[in-house]
């Protein structure tokens, strides 16, 4: 099992943040998006927010690869529509490459056993 942590910022606008959160409520989930996530080998995905910063934790099978997920997403019109919609709310982190959204975070600490 692999674990990844990623971050992105939301536009600092209370109404947009509320709308973004509404899209992510369980009753508003989109089955095609959930399926695309699971089909890529992701077994759990959580998103947290503080202010306008989002933090995502992904747990995935050992065979999961971001490059493979990106290729799957590029050929999925439902995912493309979703990603375009989410750009209404999201903005890149400082230092992001052009068009880069979620940025992979480096693990810098783990509680010793």
Question: Residue 69: what pLDDT?
Answer: 97
Question: Residue 34: what pLDDT?
Answer: 97
Q: DSSP states of 48-69 as a string?
A: EEETTEEEEEEEE-TT--HHHH
Over residues 84-103, the pLDDT tens digits come to 999 999 999 999 999 899 99
Q: Indicate the domain borders of the chain.
A: 2-104
Task: Render the burial of 24-41: b for 16+ CB within 10 Å, e for the rest.
Answer: eeeeeeeeebeebbeebb
pTM: 0.93
Which class is domain 2-104? alpha beta
Over residues 39-56, the pLDDT tens digits come to 999 999 999 999 999 999
At 81, the pLDDT band (50, 70, 90 cuts) reads very high
Helix H or strand E encompassing 39: helix 31-39
Residue 83: is its pLDDT beyond 90? yes
Question: Residue 27: what pLDDT?
Answer: 97
């Amino acid at each position: 099992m692999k674990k990844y942590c990623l971050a992105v910022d939301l536009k600092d606008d209370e109404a947009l943040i509320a709308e973004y959160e509404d899209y992510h409520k369980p009753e508003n989930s989109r089955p095609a998006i959930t399926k695309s996530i699971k089909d890529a080998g992701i077994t759990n995905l959580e998103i947290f927010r503080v202010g306008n910063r989002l933090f995502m934790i992904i747990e995935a099978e050992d065979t999961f690869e971001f490059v493979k997920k990106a290729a799957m997403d590029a050929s999925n019109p439902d995912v493309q529509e979703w990603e375009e919609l989410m750009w209404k709310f999201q903005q890149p982190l400082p230092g992001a490459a052009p068009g880069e959204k979620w940025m992979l975070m480096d693990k810098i600490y783990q509680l010793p056993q």
